[in-house]
Amino acid sequence: MVDPAIQMNSIPKLRKNYSVFRFIGGNLISFCGDQIYLLAIPLIVLSITGSPLSMGIVAALERLPILFQPLTGVLADRFNKKYLLLFCDLLRCIIVGIIGLLFIFGILDMWFLYTGAFTIGVLSQIYNTSQFASIPKMVRKSDLHSVNAINTGFFNTAVLVAPGIGGLIISLYNPGYALLINSMSFFIAFLTVLSINMNTSEDSKKFKRNSFWLDIKEGFQFVFHSKPILFTNLAMLVSVFGTTMFLTMMVFHLTDTISLSSEKVGLLISIGGIGAICGALITTKVRESFTYRSILFFASLIGGLSIVLFGMSTSYIWLIILNAVGTFASSMMNPCIVTIRQSLTPDHLLGRVQATSRFMTWISMPVSAFLAGILSNNIGTNLTIILGGIISTVASFLYLHHSLGK
């Protein structure tokens, strides 16, 4: 057995760690596909049904697998993470491609879209947990926050570039072709992961004799005893409920209520990526002068208020600005929360702590998405988005817990 300290010292410094850059480069391609997917799916639902309630159902089904998060954490800790990543990328490539082709030929039924959204949701949960647990083994601990910031920056680069491309493709053809591009992005990500030696197989061997329930319990116990992780999870639980209401209806709101074209919606989301990239780049510098408590509180407060104002605005320019402010705030928070979890968690618990945390913070997402559809049907998308923003704003005060100031 290789000593962990020796193994960690054998990892190259960040500037020469080509494996981790290839890994997050593959993530960038996959992120681009995801952003196109988020733009295309609401337009497909709108084309087939014209119902915000149907959009709420699709979003709820995609988020329902959050309930399986504790199990995905055990999978990530027990089994080879590289194989899990490859399996998820390949299967998502196939499912998204089939949905796109069926819509292009005009034979896509809502039952298949519902089933596909749920399956993609399951695979995405497994992929995200495995990815989270893989990164700390690929970099030095001193580089962890920087890598998380870069990964967030890459994600937000996708937010900048992909929706504009997706909007252009949709305006020239239809959303089905956008999904074919999303499918191809998953295949490229598959090839990227396949080419990397991730050295994660040794971590899984010690867990194969334990029961699933014992492993799940161990993850929950660690989270509840680690106050910084616990209170960021509680804050995220409330915030995510409100943000999900906003995100579920955002594209529908912009196209149906505000009457923007798909090109303008794509451009709005893409420009929001500029704010997000800035937030990801600045978070490492800000961390040198401020505690996680200060960063998370102010970023959450600003992000929540931006959603409230987004729901109140009808000006295209103001919608662009408010979306950029919200993405800026969110991208400042993400590296902080991820680094807190990774830094405080032992290697053998990384998958379960991430899965437990996501379970705690995302468990309300299916209900929130479905509720957004019901409320939008009855009171309109404007008031639904404003309500989501108020809930997210209130959540910011949970970040003031003293454990986050250390």
The token pair at 297 is 């509180």
On whether the CB atoms of residues 268 and 276 are closer than 8 A, the answer is no
Segment 38-64 shows an average pLDDT of 80
- Which residue has better confidence, 264 or 272? 264
pLDDT for the residue 309: 96
pLDDT for the residue 209: 52
**In the chain, what is the greatest distance between 2 CA atoms, to the nearest angstrom?**
62
| Architecture category of domain 16-197+209-405 in CATH | Up-down Bundle (1.20)
Instruction: Please give the Cα distance from 299 to 86 (Å, whole number).
Output: 34
Q: Note the pLDDT tens digit of each residue in 134-149.
A: 777 777 777 777 777 7
Q: Would the pLDDT of 395 be above 90?
A: yes
pLDDT for the residue 170: 65
pLDDT for the residue 239: 93
Q: Is 229 helix (H, G, I), strand (E, B) or coil?
A: helix
The token pair at 28 is 């960038």
Mean pLDDT of the chain: 82
Residues 6+ apart with CB under 8 A from 296: 232, 235, 333, 336, 337, 396, 399, 404
Segment 56-80 shows an average pLDDT of 80
Domain map of the chain by residue range?
A: 16-197+209-405
Pick from 159, 149, 151: which is nearest to 271 by CA? 159
Give phi and psi for 261, each to the nearest 5: -75, 165
Highest-scoring range by mean pLDDT, 20-34, 48-62, 70-84, 173-187: 173-187
Instruction: Please give the Cα distance from 51 to 33 (Å, whole number).
Output: 25
